Structure 1
Amino acid sequence: MSTPVSVPPTDRRQSAGDNGFRPGLLSRLGAEAFGTLFLVVAGLGVPLFTLPQSNPLPGALAGGLAVTAAMLAFAYISGGHFNPAITLGNLVAGRIGIAAAAAYIGAQLVGAAAGALALFGILRTVPNIPDARTAFDTVTAGFGEHSVIQTSMAGVLLVEVLGAALLVAVFLGMTARRNTNAAAAPFAVGLAFAVLLQLGQALGNAPFNPARATASALFSSSWALGQLWLFWVAPLVGAGIAGLVFRGFADARGRTATLDADPSDDEADAGSDLADGFDDDQDEKPAAEPRPEAEHGRADADEAPEAGRDEARDFFDGPRKQS
């Protein structure tokens, strides 16, 4: 049996992609910004320019399909958040560092603002729309008199908390390392988002995405910025709840592990699902020390049942580093 070789310090950023290198922070931020831009253009643009006789695609379905497409295109680079609520859920669940989470949210805001700016510019070229800001009001999140069915602040707050919690829970569950269906995560998250958008549309254009809410508010009438706080506070609370629950599941799994299990395996699973995809803090960790030959053989045996899951896991994490 061959003796494992530790990874040299110069290879810490090597990863699982086909090119042998882990995407850098700038690449991940670019993917988050571009993916969020796509979500905003599709999620706001379709309802803005919908004509029932020629555009039968509902805005909620368009938003969900955009999430699926963006995750399929960019999740292997950044993890496919495109939403500050999802980023916070990953932070609370222990999958991403604080600095990286803050950078992700900044990139998402930039991408969302760029998408809304592009739509605003298009609106200004349409002669039948004299006031682009008034047109944006029709797709901007709001409550009370700015809700389609006059939903009160409490009602919109509750649906945002609930919707964000469900969305983050679907994301965390589908992208967990132990989920053998992880490759289907873009479809599950996209469908969940479409259903939630359909629920929130009449209640107050609830977006369950603070970046999207901010982008539309910037180009709407002044009331939108005054109500924007709710569409940050509520989804972040929901995301935090989902993250805590998911972290509790991981802790419970660790507590019920068998006595002869390798403690390092439980520790890794408890807080690092998908972490290889975007946790900058891991770049600073030294390479793992090689195990003795006997333990190396045991690790191979323990990991054998996981072989069938590599394809799904690699969708987000890429293949594991070779020891």
Structure 2
Amino acid sequence: MTTPASVTTTDAELHPAGDAGFRPGLVSRLAAEAFGTLFLVIAGLGVPLFTLPQSNPLPAALAGGLAVTAAMLAFAYISGGHFNPAITLGNLVAGRIRPMDAGAYLVAQLLGAVAGALTLFGILRTVPNIPDTRAAFDTVTAGFGEHSAIQASMAGVLLAEVVGAALLVAVFLGTTARRNVHAAAAPFAVGLSLAVLLQLGQAIGNAPFNPARATASALFNSSWGLGQLWLFWVAPLVGAAITGLVFRGFSAGTVSAAGTGSTASTASTGAAVHGTGGAAGAESDDDDHDVPAAAPNDEAPHDEARGGDEARGDQAPDDEARDFFDGPRNT
């Protein structure tokens, strides 16, 4: 079958200059996730741990948000820039990453977070004015009740974590969607959103809206941290799952609208660019990098074809966020 000229996509269009068809494998993506999460933990926990009010003008919440922005700009083209189990779960529920890859991402994020906290713990041990390193970690560990700065109850902190994580995942999924013409600003949108949420989270109990970061600090604080850690896993994952379901519903709505008129025909043409259809194309780990179904200025057919694959229950496509950072977009 001959592909119409209007949807023919060359390799140069698929991959920007200097990219040379770059397709990161799973190991590369896991390394990017681990390193990015390590950076987030060092910045997010290190700034408040070593803050001197008279000489540190950068608020801890802003430091955490800027770290996310920098990490996404540096590594999102490799892994999609999750650095947070809640964001990974949101992508999984929304159908943007395969379950096995999502599980591997979670392990990599935990390893990176623990490595970052261990680095800070080692630095604190060398400071003679800090006799109790674990007590220092108490000041940055997520908690509720008597361990909250405002004595927030368990229910209050849980609700804040659910809502905060849901909003953070919504910003991530929305700004990294293929058809978002402003997606180049995704790292800044996610980073600033996290900075605002962290400002709220600090007051109610150092809520990080990131289970990996919560685990890292709990491992090195006094004994109470691990006892309350469950909330900072359950709540953000619930919020992330809710947002993922909402965005999956958005995709389903797009699919139903695509079944009429010329849009349906262009969607079928987009499926032809996959080669043998959605199910076969999904078998490749990085298949989404190969299949923009239209010329660079018309992405809708590809999105509809891809959404159709998800609606039919085919294997989940690869991370759409990474797909954005790995290819050209409308401006």
TM-score interval, smaller chain:
0.7 to 0.9
C-alpha offsets along residues 209-250 of structure 1, whole Å, 9 cap, x if unaligned?
Answer: 000000000000111000000000000000000000011111
For 1:177, the equivalent position in structure 2 comes to: 178
Question: RMSD of the alignment, in Å?
Answer: 3.0
Contact 1:81-1:87 within 8 A present in 2 as well: yes
1:203 matches 2:209: no
Q: Identical aligned pairs, as a percentage? A: 77
Runs of 5+ consecutive residues of structure 2 not aligned to the other structure: 5-13, 272-280, 301-320
In 2: Cα distance, 1:125 partner to 1:41 partner: 16
What whole-Å deviation, never above 9, does each CA across 1:58-86 have from its counterpart, x for those lacking one? 00000000000000000000000000000
1:229 aligns with 2:221: no
C-alpha deviation, 1:265, in angstroms: 3.2
- Distance in 2, Cα, partners of 1:280 & 1:130: 55
Evaluate the alpha carbon distance shift between residue 109 and residue 268 of structure 1 in structure 2; reply closer, same or farther with a 3 A threshold. farther
SS at 2:21's partner residue? coil
Correspondence for 1:265: 267
SS in 2 for 1:56: coil
Which one-letter code corresponds to 1:118 in the other structure? T
Q: How far has the Cα of 1:262 moved from its partner? A: 3.0
* Aligned-partner Cα distance in 1 for 2:73–2:323: 13
Cα pair 2:177 2:183 within 8 Å, conserved: yes
- 2:219 maps to 218
**Structure 2: distance between partners of 1:140 and 1:76:** 31
Is contact 1:169-1:242 (8 Å) kept? yes
Please say if residues 45 and 140 of structure 2, whose CA atoms lie closer than 8 Å, have aligned partners that are also in contact.
Answer: yes
What corresponds to 1:276 in structure 2? none
1:315 to 1:94, Cα distance in 2 relative to 1, 3 A: closer
Residue of structure 2 equivalent to 1:9: none
Q: What do residues 248-284 of structure 1 show as CA deviations (whole Å, max 9, x unaligned)?
A: 1111121122512237839989xxxxxxxxx985339
Contact kept, 8 Å, 1:97 with 1:281, in 2: the verdict is no
1:19 Cα deviation after fit: 2.6
Range moving further from structure 2, 50-59 or 257-266: 257-266
Q: 1:300 to 1:180 in 2, by over 3 A?
A: closer
- In structure 1, stretches of 5+ residues that fail to align are 5-14, 270-278, 290-298
Residue of structure 1 in register with 2:325 after alignment: 316
Q: Distance in 2 between matches of 1:93 and 1:133?
A: 39
The aligned amino acid for 1:143 is: F
1:305 aligns with 2:295: no
Larger deviation, residues 257-266 vs 42-51: 257-266
Deviation at 1:91, TM superposition (A): 0.1
Q: Distance between the aligned counterparts of 1:182 and 1:83, measured in 2?
A: 19
Q: How does 1:1-323 map to 2 (within 5 A)?
A: 16=15, 18-257=19-258, 259-260=260-261, 261-262=263-264, 265=267, 281-283=283-285, 304-306=297-299, 315-319=324-328
Q: How many aligned positions are there? A: 287
Paired residue for 1:273? none
Alpha carbons of structure 1 residues 266 and 254: separation in structure 2 relative to 1, 3 Å: farther
User: Following the alignment from structure 1 to structure 2, what is the Cα–Cα distance between the partners of residues 267 and 236?
Assistant: 37
Q: CA deviation at 1:317?
A: 3.4
Distance 1:187 1:251 in 2: 28
> SS at the partner of 1:241?
helix
